[in-house]
Structure 1
Amino acid sequence: MVARDEIVAFLNEYLNINAFPDKSKNGLQVEGKEEVERIAFAVDTTLRTIKRAARAKADMMIVHHGMIWGGIDYVTGVTYRRLKALFDAGINLYVAHVPLDAHPEVGNNVQLLKLLGLEPKEPFGEYGGVTIGYIGEFEETKPVEEVAQVLAEKLDTTVKTYEFGVREIRRVGAITGAGGFALEEAKRKNVDLFVLGEFTHANYLTALDLGISVAVAGHYKTETLGVKALMPLVKEKFDVEVFFIDEPTGL
């Protein structure tokens, strides 16, 4: 058993949670048991993930998407149900949203590049005055379709490509989840292929007009990477049991 506050203090420092602007309230969002033995990792905080964690006797959940985005106005509806499930099971809820996207070691964006065999070469994706994504470069150019196939196999998902720019690519920019905000920056930094999680109607039109190729690998799937990379680190440091709860949305 490990003190909850010891784990929280480590995560706060390691993920540097106060360095990033974020609507998410990062850190310990919901307080549960003071001692922790089993930790569930998940992308999202939902009734399904909470109940699965409870059935598995987890004392803590570490997630990318938490419950509190700015604040809680009313404890009714789905907010009440989720909070009640956490309280009933005594589960601590720890959240790392943008800090887990941006982390240089276990972050979603670094891990996405590593799936392609790339190391982060330069920061990319300005968000609230800080950068959260990265650019990597292949030694030799590769077809967009080949890169998309690697992503599809390693993420076990369908990757949709929009070849609005060059089809033989070298420079790859990665921002998981809703990374479309960085399309113009990607063009300025000569990114050949922008890999992101989701792609909106407006993103499509922007990419088309910019002439930049895009690979869309799914918001959920691209953001399993950070929590999965964090798991073994927490396990080794605190000698606790860890497990991943997979609840894909298909989006």
Structure 2
Amino acid sequence: MSNLNFISTFYPPRHLILHLFSALCIISSIPFSASEIKNTRIIEDSRPMILFERFGFGADGHVAIAIKNVSWKSKQQNSELDPSSMGFFLLRELSYPKILNESEYTDSFCIVSSRYVELIFKFEQLYPDSTYNGSVIVEHPDEYSLVFGNCQPEYEVSMDVHTEMYNVEGGRKDFLPAGQTQLPKLYFLFFLVYTAFFTLWVSVCIKQSPTVDKIHIIMGALLLVKALKLICAAEDKFHAGHS
């Protein structure tokens, strides 16, 4: 009889389990991690540098960028736009001191033309309809920042920007940064470990039901919550890497 009382206490009613499982399915279907596919709207921005995102590239990293609805206007009436003074580039953190030093010893310095950045394209390469669509391969694996540079601060730029940053593994795109590509498998492995511990804990508690207290039930619940958290994290990272 004591075993039956323990089991009825330890296990919630069936309808409650179904509700919790349904809620878990709904929550796990929501993509909490944002993949490296982004759409950004820039409106009348005159900042010399606009940081879009940072990403860790592996041996076969790619950056794809598409812009449209490009327009600009000057704060000064007689200024003339130089399209080569605006553009997108990749920047390593290790390059910051070199660029700073270059700016101090170079006349009319423009970061878009610096030899320490990985240039993607300049505005002089815009199509006649003020759009651009292209991609580049990152030759040197590292963490880079995607930046828009404007060396004519008297001009305010507006545009719609679509960016994709990814590594290619096994012939498919992986939108997780280098170093995180194995996280879905790792999270799933730990989910299996915690599930095994939870199953073992329930088995021990049932066998030792006369001595089981609420603290033991709480410990089992913590194992279950941790296992569910890990499987959700695995699904989340998997979705981010493939979407």
TM-score, normalising length: structure 1: 0.22
Q: Structure with the greater relative contact order (CA < 8 A, sep ≥ 6): 1 or 2?
A: 2
TM-score, normalising length: structure 2: 0.23
- Which of 1 and 2 has greater Rg? 2
Name the structure with the higher strand share: 2
